[in-house]
Structures are given as C-alpha cells and as structure tokens.
Chain A
Amino acid sequence: MSEYHYDKDADGIVTITMDAEGKSANTMTLAWLDATFEWLDRLDAEDGLTGVVIASAKKTFFAGGDLDFILNSSQPADAMFDYVERNKAPLRRLEQLKAPVVAAINGAALGGGYEICLACHHRIVVNHKGALTGLPEATLGLLPGAGGIVRLTAKLGLEAALPLLAQGKQLRPTDALAAGLVEAVVDTQDELIPAAKAWIKANPNAHAQPWDKKGFRYPGGDADAPNVRLAAAMAPTMLYSKTRGLMPAPERVIDIAVNSMRMGFDSALRAESRGLVSLLDTPECKAAISTFFFGMQAIKSGRIRPDGPASPVKTVGVLGAGMMGAGIAWAQAYRGINTVLKDVRLEGAERGKAHSAGLADKRIKKGRLTDERKQGLLNLITPTDQDSALDGADLIIEAVFEDIKLKESVIAETFGRLAPDGIYASNTSSLPISVLAGFCPEPERFIGLHFFSPVDRMKIVEIICGDKTSDDTLRKAYDYVAQIGYTPIVVNDSRGFFTSRVFATYLDEGLQLMQDGVSPAAIERAGWLAGMPVGPLAVHDEVSMELTRKAFETHLELDRRLGENSAFGRHNTATQAIGHRMVDLGRRGRKDRAGFYDYHDDGSKTLWRELSQFKGDPLDVPMADAIDRLLYRQAIETLRCLDEGVLNTKTEADIGSIFAIGFPPHTGGALQFVYGKGRDAFVARAAQLAERYGDRFTVPTGGIDKLFNDKAA
C-alpha cells in the first residue's frame, strides 16, 4: 500500500506526503483512514521526532470527503455515526502529537482537506489561485464532520467562523490569510516544505492546540459574552430569512458551531458527528450532491458536447443592442471576445455599449475591476449600424425584437456575412429554431442561444438545436458558451423550448391560485416558502404581462402560418384570463409602474388592492397545496419536456431549471425534485392536485418512465 510517503530528515522532522494510490486526488477513503492510523503509529513510535509536515503529492492538497459514498450509501444511522467518528479520530491524535505539525498546502484544501489542516498547529499555503481553503460542505447539504465546525469556531471565534461555515466560503490564499484560515503564504511551491520546517524549528514546543491548553478562551468572546450571545441569537433568523427553512445543512452548522462553545471539546466533536449523520439521508443533501457536484461536473467535463476539436471564437456579431444584445456584448467582451454590436441606428448601438461601461463602473466601485480592464473590454465592443461590420464573424447572434417577420429579414440579410466556418444563432426565447433556420440558406449552421436577463448575472445559456442543426454547429455553440464562462444546457426545438415553457407555468399557477381565492400576499408568500427567488406575481410584473400575451399571439400566428395546432400554453388558462386582462387595464407590469403591484415614488411597491376582482369560486387552498402547486406545475411541465424529447438529460433539466428560471436550489432542480420525492409519492401527490385543482397536474407517463427507468444522466 502506498497511500503516503514517510520521510524523516536529519533534524528529526517527518514529512508525510499523502499520495492516494491510483487516484488523481487524495480523498477521505477507507484506504486513507487505514494509512493515516498507520503513519500516526509510526510517528508515535518515532525516536527524536521534532516535528511533522503534512504535504500532498497531488495537484491539490486533499479533496475532502467521499461524495460518491455519501450519495449512494444507505447505511443505518449507527453505522454512519461510527463511520464519521472513525474518520475524525486520527485528526484528534494528530493535533495531540508531542511535536508541532504543519500543513503544507500546495493546492486546494477544501472540506475534509481543510479539516486536516485545522488539526495541524500551523498552516502554510502556496500563493496560486487554485489553492483554495475552506469548508464548503454546507453548500452540498452537508456539514464539516471531521472537526471542521468545532475547530474553526475555536480557532476564529463564533462571529468570524459562522459566515465561513454557514456559507461554505472558499478563499484564495491571501483572503484565507486575512480571514485566519491559514497563518502564512509562500510564493512558490519550492518554498513550501522549507517554510514548514523553518516554522517547526522556530517553534519546537508549539504542539498544543489553543483549545487543549488550560484556560482557553474563544477569540472574540466565550459563549456568554454579549456579542457572542447576540450572534448566536441572530444567526438562525438571518439564515432563515435567506433559506426559508429549506436548507437543513446551514441550520445544523450554525447550531453546532454555537453549541460547540457550550460544551467540552470532545463532546462537541461528537455532537458534530451526530449532526452530519442527520444530514446524510436528507433529500436536500442528495439533491445538492447530485446537482451541484456531480451534475455540474458532468456539464463542465463536456459530456453533452459533441466530440471534435475546440474552436474558440474571435469575433462575434450581435444584432440588436437592446437589453439582451447589450448584455451579450458585455459577457463576450468580459472574456476578451471581439464584439460587433449592431443596431439599426448607431445611437442605439452606442447605448448598448454604454451598458457595459455602466456594469464595469459598478464593479470598479466594488473593487472587482480596474479602470484599465474596463477600457480594455470596452475597446473590444464596436458599435455600428452597418451590416458590413459583421463580415467574417465566427458567430452572429441575432437579438432583435421578438417578431418573426423582423427576424426573417435580419437573418436573411446577415447570414452571408459569417466566416466560412461561422455559425448563426438566434437569442429568441420562444420562436421555433427550425422555423428561423428556414430563413437562412444553411439551416445546419443555425442554432438557438437563449440568454437570460440580466445577462451579466444569469450565467447560463439554453442552446437549442433545430431539426437540421449539425453536431458541428452545436459543438461550436457549446464551446462559445464555455468560452464566455457560462453554463450550457442543450435542448431540442419546441414552442418555448424548455425554460420558457416551464417558467410560463410558474407565472400561470400564481394566477390560478388567484382565481381560486388565495390572497395575493399569500400567493407571493407561497412562492417564497417554496424557495422561488421571486413571487409569481412580482416576477410577472418584471417580465411584463404584455410579453406573456404577445407570446400567445405569436404562437397563434405561427400556428396559422405553419398550419399547425401547437396548443402552446394550453394549460395556461389563468394567464389568458387575468394577465391579458391586466394589459387591457393598462397595468402591464413594472414598466407601467402598475401591474399586480403599484410602484411608488420611493421605490417601494405594494400589491394592487383591486386584484380581488379576479377571484373565482374560492376553494380554500391550504398553504401546503399552494406551495406544491407552484412546484408541481413546473416539475410536470419539465417531465413533459423530457417525454417529448425537448430535454436530453436529467442533469440539464436540473441545472437549467435552477439557474435559468430559479427553481428552488434545495430541490436539486425540477427533475431531481421529482426524483427526491420518489416516483410513487410524486405521482400520488400530483393526482391529488389534479383531482382538486385540474388536469394540468396530470403526470405524463412517458416523462416519468424516462426519468425513473432510463436513468437519464
């Protein structure tokens, strides 16, 4: 077994270099555990031991817990408790060695990796940006169960430790130094081990942790200090106002951190283990690991990208300098891509460019961007009113007004400007890509790139393949999205694709609730309690009811044009009844300063008092039903998309639903939500909702079969 290397130097310092056999990273596997006990025994038996350096032979220091094991293990609580206790036991031995121990952190030390560092007496990190330290467990529905909560709280004090723990922050070396996660930073890898040894020689007796010394006081105050008591009192409520009681992990983290100060150190370590065990089997934990760890990994690793050479774009033409076009220009320029921003009038194009200047200024104010960088990225944006400026573009994205006739002429006029191997994209949010592709001579080079507003913050793009889009075009589009640092999901053509279709059901269900007699305040609260970022009425005001009405009209027109009956939005009856009526009333939404809300001069808004006119026969809808209706509507529409082949994978549905339309993150996404409930429970609840509230809640059998039988990635 060669999980580690053991080297003793002439000064009596032993360097343990962790080097998991046959793996690219060190993780907390059973092999690691056995190895650690083995080297601890050797250290105990070592004659003339003067110090220990813990190092790594891998690119990263240590990757943390075994998430695959955690996700798939279904052992009973007592077995898991033993597992967690066994895992943390060597760390207690390590910090109680009779010689100083230094963590020589050569790369990322996150989660369990940083917990090893915490059990050392001193931490030195190499200054490169990948060498992150921190305890991100809470973001994966877990908690640091190898002493991380207890030790970080004892090391930094409650007030400093809580945000790091509850938000799972990962810090770069200099930030980690400032926050107290590490004690020293060295510039190069070569300096690391010497620096560790130098510290040992300078501090030969520094082998007791502060918390193991008599008279230990917590930095920033013990448990009964007024500031600490206040922090303990406020932390759970502050958290609740953000997580709405939907995230058990940060709740547990805060509870254990606070209470660790009210008991002995070893008792606190056990309490921490119990807390971790209580999280392991929660749907929130499984959802977070599935979607945010394995799901994101799958997308980032290119599993959905057609094979072929990388083809980075150099110049991209953006047509239409409105909100979307200007946002896309920013996203590209930010990543160093030449951008031709074309509008019918030069002033419009220049206004679009000014958007980037505004975004840059905001970042400069926050210290996140330099003036020099701002100038550099603005230089990359060329505003124009001339089609000729697009000549030779690797990619043209049209983001003109959502009008099919306008798009038809724009596409036809500009397609020829592309470089010979360039591709053409539409940023339409709902028009069929296959239809738009028909407006250019080579539909195989045409694709949908659906950005979301505001583009600078919504870092996801829905890539839509038309029926003739080639794999080559998809690969180029995928690479472009990756190049601008956005997350791609790939879907197939349909009316509204995936995201717009599902989002429309959220808006509609809010209005269905209104028809059923739920008060507008309670509708918004249901959205909040469900975990949606914005209530269905507020967000409808933002997108404007004119837009939702126009979508209906556009699709009716398309149906006529194509001789189809797409039945687009056929379930969205409340949107037609209420939303369309609101447009007639001149209350289109925020842009009118009147919608479901009244918008006041001081920037506040209050629900419009006359919404009661839309109330139908009151159904006495319990809050639990209101919440489920908002979520099930979206999940069922997502299942329909899966059934119809609009969606290719579960992962893309989950990532897309969370990042594009705000489906509650604690569920792990719209399909993981179904998965987490279990097939029978989901179908039964949906049937109940269908019976009470209408057949829009009928689960598409094909979709649920695909989800549970095909094990879609």
Chain B
Amino acid sequence: MTRLNGKTAVITGGATGIGLAAAERFIEEGAFIFIFGRRHEALDAAVADLGPNARAVKGSVSDEADLDRLYAAVKAERGTLDIVFANAGVGSQLRLGKITAEHIDEIFGIRRRSGRRLPFSRRRTAAS
C-alpha cells in the first residue's frame, strides 16, 4: 500500500477510464496526483471521488499553453514531479477510403496553422 509513498504524479486523461483507475491506485499507494482532462464535470466528479490527495487541471494535451498551466500548478504546490502517466488519447474508426487529412491531424495531434494548407489536405482522398 506504500509503493508510491510521497511521490507526485501527473495523469493525463485522468478523469475517466484507465486514467481514473490509475489515479485511484496511485493514491492508494500513497501518491499525490494531478489529473488533467478537457471536461469540467468529469474532472470535478473525479476529484470529489479521489479525495484530498488529488488536484484537477483542465486542458488538452494538444495545447501547449494548457500543458504549461498544468506543470506550473504542479510546481507551485509540490515543487517536484516523480511520475507522468501520459494516458490521454483519442481514437475513432474510419475506413481507408473515407480518411481525411483533418482526421489524421486529430489523431496525431497536429495543430493546423491557419492560412496554410498542405498539399494533401483535401476533403476527399485519392483512394476509395
């Protein structure tokens, strides 16, 4: 029950599913954790469940400013970081002929720069 005694951990995608299960177990093992996710209600519910050794920071891993805010919060409260569980992810199914550049960008976390379009970024792909 003390494998992570005194450790500080960040869990992205930590409000639900695997991330939340990890948060619960980390706390059981004595850690202090920060969960990071995009949805307010899920974060609030998770922190209420997890108790006093959990903090929530709202944001998206694809947004650098959000990540800066996360790690600033960790530094301010704990001054140190021992564990990062980089768990946040998205996934959806699309058949090969229907995949768009936007879909690829979303899965790979590539942020589109406004005003510049890449050569292959068209709504319809060549193969179908």
Asked if chains A and B come from one complex, the reply is no
